[in-house]
Amino acid sequence: MDKMVLLDSAPEDLLNAVIKKSLEEKGRRLSLHGIHRWWSRRFSALYRFILASFLNNDPDWILTCINQPWLMRERAKGKVFYEPFAGGGTGLIEAALAGWNVYGSEVNPVAADIVESGLQIVREGIPDRYFKDMIKVLELSLEALKELWYLNDGLISYTLVSRGRIPTWITTRRNNGREEKLLICPNCMNIFFYAQKGEKGFAKCPLCEEKFSITIKPAIDIPSNLPEVTRGWKAFIVELRIKEGSRWRKKWINLILNREISNHLKKVIDKALKYSKDSYEFLSTYTLNGIFEGRRLKREGGLNSLADFFTPRQLTSFELFTKTCTKIIDKKYWRLARLALSETAKSSSIAAKWYPPTGEPIPAAAIKTYWISAYAVETNPLAHIPGRLTPLARNSLASSIRAQKRAVEFVRSNGDYSKFKYKFLNVTAENFILPQTINLAVIDPPYLGRVKSYTSLSLVHYSAFILFNYVSKEKMLPKIHAIESLEVTISNKRYREVLNSVMTKVAYRLKDDGRVVLMYNRQSIDEWKIPLEASKMAKLYPIVAYWVLGETPGRLARSTLRGLFLVIFSRKPHRRMIIIFKNILENIEKYGIFLDMKREYEACMSLIKALSSVYHNITIVKR
């Protein structure tokens, strides 16, 4: 029997509400998913919409569940949700929170740990003890590495580094509600704060009166005798945090003019080089040769192995953090500690860009490609307010651990822990043994563009991961090459095979009234055909496709298709299929989403063409 579910015919205002909800999530990810920002995470609102509209036909109830997903628990009891390409686990974790039994797989060990940790948080939380212990770990680590991270009375938050050229605009601060730029004069190298007056885009040095343009492009050459934080990268400015009463004031030191501190820093780095020798050697055995991004990282950034992502001070800090964890933290929670380290590594890495307009680093692969910048930043991963989980540098360890705490608090005060059965494995989708019956499956296959694999994208995370395992003497993980070769990508011949196999297995276990949801969007008809031919082969029939918002890219992102189609399939043949494609929201730009509706429309037309060529017996109606 094929019972109608609202998922087959969602009304426009419900879709509109889902898109609005997604926009609200944009930028400030729900705290439940903040423990690690794996790539291509879908909005929670999308999953909640899918899950709830499968369970009930009442749009009002569905809307309520999008805000309070735990209200689904009664109806979801015993129902099976399956997601073979789990990614950061947004879907599995949302389904678990909503009381479904969840099944899934993910090939990447870093992502797999995110999923496991998320499920643990939804199921039983993390005891307060862990957070208390973690505060101790951070304090002990920072205390032990005082000589590396303190300058006089200040704690180093960031050290700006460059391979030769630097911008004139260094950072930005707010002073009495007014924005001020910290600039460096290309003539005398003096640094000074500047609030825009006079000709826009230009400033005048108060010391030598040189007039110069304000730019974030690498424009000025730096002297060669500056301290080298790591191969080829010279430090030119240090940002310090200085305690004044209850506030932590920022202070900047210009290393180009301050020889004394510059020389001191050289000595500090020499020490760190010795401390980190072992970690460095270990990570050096993980070369980037043969990895998708390897050649570019080498060519443009001079990186040869995983060791080159971090500076000696960072490696020393990672190592000490790990050692201290193993002494203080209950072994049951090492996975969480390692996850925090991995999340932090992303911003700490030398492949993170320094962005003067915000005065913060932008994690490299955050935009699905690595920055190979002329100037970058060395983040102090240990920067935090002593005794608290308050970070003093973006994405430092305190912030990653605090994110875990917030996720737990979210669950506790929103429906509380959930009871569900689950089976999740760090294996390929092809190798996962499916549950006996499936009610609802989401297939969100990888289809990266510019960067060819998630493994390549997560090299930095992975480095921190294996370093943790090495220092704590935990089981070692497969090598990056092995992981990358198991991963399927759209340019890989196995892609079609894997989708065929996954769809066929899902269809076989799918209940008569079950549904499969494909999340996908491509510009080309041929690339649309790959999953559609797989679904056809699996004897799955498309009922409807909805255009919704996919990822969250803002202006910086490289991908141009920001929409996403949810294609709903069932096992019962249908004559007619509906495509709902509408830019429902006006002024979407004001949310910081930049949609190219022409391209989105082209992708929609490709979907329709691919559908009519694959499913030629189905009439397609576009709305």
Ligand X SMILES: C[S@@+](CC[C@H](N)C(=O)[O-])C[C@H]1O[C@@H](n2cnc3c(N)ncnc32)[C@H](O)[C@@H]1O
Residues that bind Zn ion (CB under 5 A): 185, 187-188, 190, 205, 207-208, 210
Select from ligand X, Zn ion, none the partner in contact with residue 105, using the beta carbon and a kind-dependent cut-off of 5 to 8 Å: ligand X
Give SS3 for 165.
strand
CA–CA dist 611, 605 (Å, integer): 10
Choose among Zn ion, ligand X, none what residue 172 binds, the Cβ cut-off being 5 to 8 Å by kind: none
Q: Which does 208 bind (CB under 5 to 8 A by kind): Zn ion, ligand X, none?
A: Zn ion
State the minimum distance, in angstroms, from the CB of residue 99 to ligand X: 19
Nearest approach, Cβ of 348 to ligand X (angstroms)? 22
Nearer to ligand X, 319 or 430 (CB): 430
Residue 205 binding partner per list ligand X, Zn ion, none, with a CB distance cut-off of 5 to 8 Å that depends on partner kind: Zn ion
* 22 lies in the site for ligand X, by CB under 6 A: no
Nearer to ligand X, 108 or 369 (CB): 108
- Can residue 82 be called a binding residue for ligand X (CB under 6 A)? no
Cβ proximity to ligand X, 108 vs 500, nearer residue:
108
8 A C-beta contact, residue 468 and residue 337: yes
Q: Select from ligand X, Zn ion, none the partner in contact with residue 109, using the beta carbon and a kind-dependent cut-off of 5 to 8 Å.
A: none
Residue 462 binds ligand X, judged by CB under 6 A: no
CB of 448 to ligand X, least distance (A): 8
50 binds ligand X (CB under 6 A): no
- Whether residue 354 contacts residue 375, with contact meaning beta carbons closer than 8 Å, is answered with yes
Q: Which of 415, 446, 550, 563 binds ligand X (CB under 6 A)?
A: 446
Residue 64: CB minimum distance to ligand X, A: 22
118-132 CB burial, b ≥16 within 10 A, e <16: bbbbbeebbeeebbe
CB of 444 to ligand X, least distance (A): 4
Which amino acid is it at 451? V
Residues 85-144 that bind ligand X (CB under 6 A): 85, 87-91, 105-108, 111
Residue 180 CB, shortest distance to Zn ion, in Å, is 17
Closest-CA residue to 7 (of 67, 50, 43, 66): 50
DSSP 178-226: EEEEEEE-TTT--EEEE---SSTTEEE-TTT--EEE--SS--EE--TTS
The rounded distance, in Å, linking the Cα atoms of 251 and 242 is 7
Smallest separation (angstroms) from ligand X to the CB of 43: 8
Contact 506, 443 (CB under 8 A): yes
Q: What pairing do the DSSP bridges indicate for beta strands 154-162 and 150-151?
A: antiparallel
Q: Which does 91 bind (CB under 5 to 8 A by kind): Zn ion, ligand X, none?
A: ligand X
Q: How far is CA 272 from CA 282, 377, 502, 565, in A?
A: 16, 17, 49, 50
* Cβ atoms of 130 and 333 closer than 8 Å: yes
Candidates 2-10, 218-226, 482-490, 576-584; binding stretch for ligand X (CB under 6 A) = 482-490
210 binds, among ligand X, Zn ion, none (CB under 5 to 8 A by kind): Zn ion
**CA 211 to chain centroid:** 41
Site membership for ligand X, residue 429 (CB under 6 A)? yes
Q: Is 484 one of the binding residues for ligand X (CB under 6 A)?
A: no
Q: Compare residues 210 and 602 and give the one whose CB is closer to Zn ion.
A: 210
Residue, CB closest to ligand X: 87
Query: Residues 214, 202: contact at Cβ < 8 Å?
Result: yes
Number of residues that bind ligand X (CB under 6 A): 23
Burial of 399 (0-12, 13-18, 19+ CB in 10 A): buried
295: Cβ contacts below 8 Å, ≥ 6 apart: 288
Residues in contact with 608: Cβ distance below 8 Å, sequence separation at least 6, in sequence order: 579, 620, 622
Which residues form the interface with ligand X (CB under 6 A)? 40-42, 85, 87-91, 105-108, 111, 428-429, 444, 446, 454, 486-488, 498
